[in-house]
Amino acid sequence: MSGRRSRVLILVQNLPVPFDRRVWLEAQTLRDHGYDVTVVCPTGHGTGRGRQVLDGVTVLAYPPYAPGGGAAGFVLEYAWSFLATARLVRRARRSGQFDVMQACNPPDIFWPIARWLRWEDGTRFVFDHHDLCPELYRSRFPEGARLPLRGLEALERATFRTADRVVATNESYAAVARERGGKRPNHVTVVRTGPDPQHLRPVAPRPELRRGRTHLAAYVGVMGPQDGVDVVLAAADHIVHTLGRTDLAFELMGSGDCHAALVAERDARGLRDAVHMPGRVSDAYLAEVLSTADVGLSPDPLNPLNDVSTMNKTMEYLAFALPVVAYELVETRLSAGDAAIYADPRSADPVNAYAEAILALIDEPEERALMGKRGRQRVETELAWEHQAPAYLRVFDELAGRTPDTGSGTR
């Protein structure tokens, strides 16, 4: 390597860094082990336009463009993102070639850039597989047209074919890479989105966040069509209006495509006093809410995507020693284990089943405390990023030709 620092390029479209915690942990891990790291991403959440250096990581950001309007809007958004990303990659390459490029999905659009860099410089390509885009489409548009689905499947196939290595967020995604993507088992590595237990940890609770009620149930995350926040509102309606429980407040933090519609639904259901929906919140406020709450809500319904996906919010609840209320989904069960209570998504009335699961935990303080302790211990001993980082580093060390004495420290 002639003393040159190995350069890594990371491309991400759907979130900026450092707001995207998984990508930021990856970038920091590579930086700490001697890599020169550049991230190309959209602006937002504290990330300004152009070039900046954040904690030793170079970030090149472009203004996002999301016109909406269905399939045509997505095509325009992704075309803009691809062109803006390609322009910034060309700019970053002026400082020298990249040894490894990582692309994070969704969407699966950056494989042409990987092929170009491979042709120009021999750059190796790591696909950081965050989402199953075909399943995402099928979950959001179960009656949708077949042509967009075929297009997403084609993009996924091209990404898998181009990738030298695949980093999968769980075993279900690893199976997809092997079976649908045709990747060899030794070219697929599971690296879970493990929380940082030093950053995500309980702080002093603030009882006033319960807004005069005895208990608090919290949600944090995206509010899209497939995220189940509508389930929480329906369950809260059942708890408050049908069962007459006035001892439970709900704090639903986050934003997304459906946030405005969900706020309107909350108001239409007469839940303004019981359900607080502040939108996106600061890390400090989130920590205070999750340290005050009695249960964390993971209401993701059963669909082709959710059943095999690892939910970041579930991992965050575990880090804050917060017992989880979830539906019985394959990867949610594997993530939370016995730190959660599970409602049956196939029951005759899934909403009431979820409401009953919430109350079952609310009414059992000793069980809540035990489950929260199990969850925190699970994070500290198994799920935390410090336990995931060595496998992630080995992928890059192998592709970059690094050995222990060049600073990887992972073999």
Beta strand pairing call for 188-190 and 215-220: unpaired
Helices (H), 94-129: 111-121
Output the pLDDT for position 72: 77
Class of domain 7-193+385-406: alpha beta
Task: Give yes or no for residue 409 having a pLDDT over 70.
Answer: no
| Token output for 400 | 């970059």
Q: Give the rounded distance of the alpha carbon of 109 from its chain centre.
A: 18
> How does strand 57-62 pair with strand 50-54?
antiparallel
- The average confidence (pLDDT) of the chain is 93
Check residue 215 and give its pLDDT. 98
Q: Confidence band (pLDDT; 50, 70, 90) for 226?
A: confident
Q: Tell me the whole-structure pTM to 2 decimals.
A: 0.88
- Mean per-residue pLDDT, 92-113: 97
pLDDT of residue 106: 93
Q: Token pair of 260, please?
A: 């405005």
Distance CA 295, CA 68 (A): 34
SS3 69: coil
Confidence at residue 403, expressed as pLDDT on a 0 to 100 scale: 66
Asked if residue 308 has pLDDT above 60, the reply is yes
Task: Classify 386 in phi/psi space as left (phi over 0), alpha (psi -120 to 50) or beta.
Answer: alpha
Q: Above 70 in pLDDT, residue 235?
A: yes
d(CA 154, CA 137): 13
Report the topology of domain 207-383.
Answer: Rossmann fold (3.40.50)
Residue ranges, CATH 3.40.50.2000, the chain: 7-193+385-406, 207-383
pLDDT at residue 264, rounded to an integer: 98
The DSSP secondary-structure symbol of 18 reads: T
Band (408; pLDDT cuts 50, 70, 90): very low
Least trusted range by pLDDT, from 42-46, 126-130, 178-182, 236-240? 42-46
pLDDT at 384 over 90: yes
Cross-strand partners of 102:
10, 126
Decide which of 19 and 42 is more confident: 42
Query: Region 148-175: what's the mean pLDDT?
Result: 96
Give the distance from CA 307 to its chain's centroid. Answer: 15
- β partners of residue 340: 324
* Angstrom distance (rounded) from CA 175 to CA 166: 11
Q: How far is CA 36 from the centre of its chain?
A: 24
Instruction: Please check whether residue 338 is in contact with residue 371, taking contact to mean a CB–CB distance below 8 angstroms.
Output: yes
Strands (E), 119-210: 124-129, 165-168, 188-190
- Mean pLDDT on 90-107: 96
